[in-house]
Structure 1
Amino acid sequence: MKVLHTADWHIGQLFHTYDRTFEHRQFLQWLVGIIVSESVDVLLISGDIFDLSNPSASSVQLFYTFLNQATKANPDLQIIVTAGNHDSPSRLEAPKPLLESSKIHIIGLVERDADGALDYEKLIIPLKNKNEEVEAWCLAVPFLRTGEYPSLADCSDPYAEGVAAMYGAVYAAALAHQQDGQAIIATGHLTAAGSERTSADEDERPIMGGVECIAADAFPAGLNYVALGHIHKAQKVGGKEHIRYCGSPIPMSFTEANYKHQVLSFELNKGKLTDLKSIEIPIAVSLKRIPDMHQPLTNVLAELLALPDEQPTGPTPYLEVRVLLDAPEPGLRHKIETALQGKPYRLAKIDARHPVQTEDAAAELISGRKLTDIKPEEIFQTMYQAKYNAMPPEILVSLFNQVSTEISQREAV
């Protein structure tokens, strides 16, 4: 049995205001081709199908068009879709009645039985080979929210220990079904301890203040493979070959520009995992950063002006301009856009940085002093000098004092 693992599609994402429908359509068309060429039997989609919990009609249409094309191209294909933190579990599950007769399984919610206990059986899906024999069992575990995992008494980390207990309980339920020669695999959408993350991953919605890390040993040792989503860089977890993030199929931020975007495939044969490999995804629209390192504005503008005017053969790349500022630059965007006129790039982001950080200056300012003894003007001048390595112009000081006075007068009324 050939299995393909993908996740974190984020259909409907706007990349710094630019629509990405073309990129997602190119990826999904490519994926249909891979399903056929690799003779895939099972497709695992481990969460974050959509970028928003309330996706647009066009995003939903794109997803279901893919499901239709994939199952037409391979009528025996089994698809397991689990919800991520960006997905609405109930909205994702809405078409389940229409899909009950197909081989598409969508798991968004963790249901409870008549007694109010977590219904683990609803998360266990048999995977059948071409002879309609059960080759493996899949623990289709979605992104777990509060109340969707066991509540443990006297534990130091309710979330991490609860999630570990959840996987242990679903695995135990699957063992009751397992027969000789059958594998057990699992899905998950979570943050694994020690995983390498980017700024885009750090911006993901936390559950409990960013402490929701799950250790690799939270997954039962008997699992043949764990198909994870949520982290956008493909990687193994805890040094274990069979616990994997496949990563996002297209770059979600400029920090992912140099990633090898991929899907993962593997074979299940008589209860064993074999032939685990990555398949690189072609990037439909490239990302470029100019310059390679942050430089003063004059250097940056010169480099932008030197760019060739020829239009690329493919789609116009996204561009991040990286500039180092030593003073406020109100006309920054206009100057950059002017330098880029006629150039074959889409300006997506201006990353402006300053040579001196303000944290140390702030600490030095308040060290040993009461906040009531520090005047607002003093704070303003200290932060400005720390950020721009120069004293603020008199006009800015005057305007600041004017605003500060108006606020004080209003508070006194």
Structure 2
Amino acid sequence: MKILHTSDWHLGQLFHEYDRTFEHQQFLNWLQAALVTEEIEVLLVSGDVFDISNPSAASIRMFYSFLQKATQDNPALQIVITAGNHDSASRLEAPKPLLESSNIHIIGTIEKNADGSINYEKLVVPLKNKSGEIQTFCLAIPFLRTGDYPTIAEAENPYTEGVAQLYRDAFEYASQHKHAHQTIIAMGHMHTQQAEISEMDTAERKIMGGVECVAANAFDENLKYVALGHIHKAQRIGGKEHIRYSGSPLPMSFSERNYKHQVIVFELEEEIKHLKMLEIPVSIPLLRVPLNPHPLEDVIAALHQLEDKNDTTPAPYLEVQVLLAEPEPGLRHKVETALLGKNVRLARIQPHYPNREKESSSHYSQELLNELQPTDVFSKSYQLKYSAEVPEHLMALFQQTVNEVGNVE
């Protein structure tokens, strides 16, 4: 049985306010072709199909068009999709009864039995080989929210221990229904311990903070493969070849400028073999000018050297890095003027200030803050960020604001 693992499509995502429909469609077209070329029998999508819980009609149409074309090109293809934290679990699995007739299984929610126990039958998807026989069972576990996983009495970490228990119980349920020659794989959408995160992943700190990091040993050692989603950088976890994040198909931040996005393909018999990564072609590249921060006049000169607009080369997303000694009110206007007629999409201007102190030094005790005047706080904050004294005209404007607020009170 040949399986392809992918995740974190984030259909409908905007990249610094730029629409990414073209990029997502290019990826889905490539994936559709790869499913045929690689003779894939099972497609696993481990969460975050959409970027927001209420996706646009265009994003929904793109998703279902892909499912229709993928199964049309390969009628025997089995697809298992789980919901991620960005997806609306109930919305994603709403068409489940209709899609299951096409061997498409979508699991978004954790259903409970009348006694409050978890309905593991819904979470275990049997996958058949070319002979029509069940070869493996897939624990299709979506992103787990509070109340989804078992409550462990006196648990030191209710989340991680509850999640681990759910995977143990699901594995036990599947084990009771499988024959000796059949195997079990799993899916998950979570943050695991030791996972290397990217710049974009840090934006999800509230979801995947330290107390919500699941250890690799939460997955039974007899699971043949664990297809993870949530972290946008492809990687294996805990030194295990069979526990992997596939990563996102598109770059999610400029920190991924030189990163190769991919999907994972492997064959499954009694063990996995021939595991490989398929690199996803980049449809719109990321460009950083200059590679390291330079003074504004040098940056403007570099921008003037960029390629002019044309109809043959896709305009890359551009990040401009500028070294500043103090705030530059006209910075964006100067950059945009230099880019007139250039074949780029200005995504971000990143200012850098020399000798900037570490963020930790900006922490003050409550007692000290109570003793400081507003102008003192403003002055210290400005000096911390720009390594310079507040200009007199800015201090005068700030003092005027303070006085006006005081008069209102």
TM-score by length of 2: 0.96
Percent of aligned pairs sharing the same letter: 57
Deviations, residues 229-280 of structure 1 (Å, cap 9, x unaligned) = 00011000011000000000111111122211100011111x2111111011
Aligned to 1:186: 186
Alignment partners' CA distance in 1, 2:360 and 2:81: 47
Q: What secondary structure, in the 3-state scheme, does the structure 2 residue paired with 1:211 have? A: helix
Deviations, residues 34-57 of structure 1 (Å, cap 9, x unaligned) = 110111000000000000000000
The correspondence for 2:400, drawn from 373, 396, 402, is 402
Shifted more, 173-182 versus 229-238: the winner is 173-182
Q: Which amino acid aligns with 1:231?
A: I
Alignment partners' CA distance in 1, 2:113 and 2:214: 26
Aligned to 1:113: 113
> Does the 8 Å CA contact 1:358/1:387 hold for their aligned counterparts?
no
1:28 paired with 2:28, answer: yes
Shifted more, 77-86 versus 178-187: the winner is 178-187
Q: Which amino acid aligns with 2:376?
A: E
Alignment partners' CA distance in 2, 1:58 and 1:367: 50
Aligned to 2:301: 302
User: What is the deviation of 1:103?
Assistant: 0.2
Q: What is the 5 A alignment of 1:11-410?
A: 11-204=11-204, 206-207=206-207, 210-269=210-269, 271-309=270-308, 311=310, 313-355=312-354, 356-357=356-357, 359=359, 362-363=362-363, 366=364, 370-410=368-408
Q: Which amino acid aligns with 2:175?
A: L
CA RMSD after TM alignment: 1.6
Aligned residues: 408
User: What is the deviation of 1:11?
Assistant: 0.2
Any stretches of 5+ residues in structure 1 without a counterpart?
Answer: none
Q: What secondary structure, in the 3-state scheme, does the structure 1 residue paired with 2:97 have? A: helix
Alignment partners' CA distance in 2, 1:341 and 1:66: 37
Q: Which amino acid aligns with 2:405?
A: I
Q: What secondary structure, in the 3-state scheme, does the structure 1 residue paired with 2:177 have? A: coil
Q: Which amino acid aligns with 1:296?
A: P
Deviations, residues 6-34 of structure 1 (Å, cap 9, x unaligned) = 00000000111111111111110111111
User: What is the deviation of 1:358?
Assistant: 6.5
Q: What secondary structure, in the 3-state scheme, does the structure 2 residue paired with 1:203 have? A: helix
Q: Which amino acid aligns with 1:9?
A: W
Q: Which amino acid aligns with 1:136?
A: T
Q: Which amino acid aligns with 2:385?
A: K
Q: Which amino acid aligns with 2:228?
A: L
Q: Which amino acid aligns with 1:330?
A: P
Shifted more, 92-101 versus 163-172: the winner is 92-101
Q: What secondary structure, in the 3-state scheme, does the structure 2 residue paired with 1:199 have? A: coil
User: What is the deviation of 1:389?
Assistant: 2.5
> Does the 8 Å CA contact 2:4/2:263 hold for their aligned counterparts?
yes
Alignment partners' CA distance in 2, 1:335 and 1:58: 36
Deviations, residues 93-115 of structure 1 (Å, cap 9, x unaligned) = 11112113220000000101122
> Does the 8 Å CA contact 1:8/1:48 hold for their aligned counterparts?
yes
Deviations, residues 342-365 of structure 1 (Å, cap 9, x unaligned) = 1110101111222213646645xx
Residues 360/158 of structure 1: CA separation in 2 closer, same or farther (3 Å cut): closer
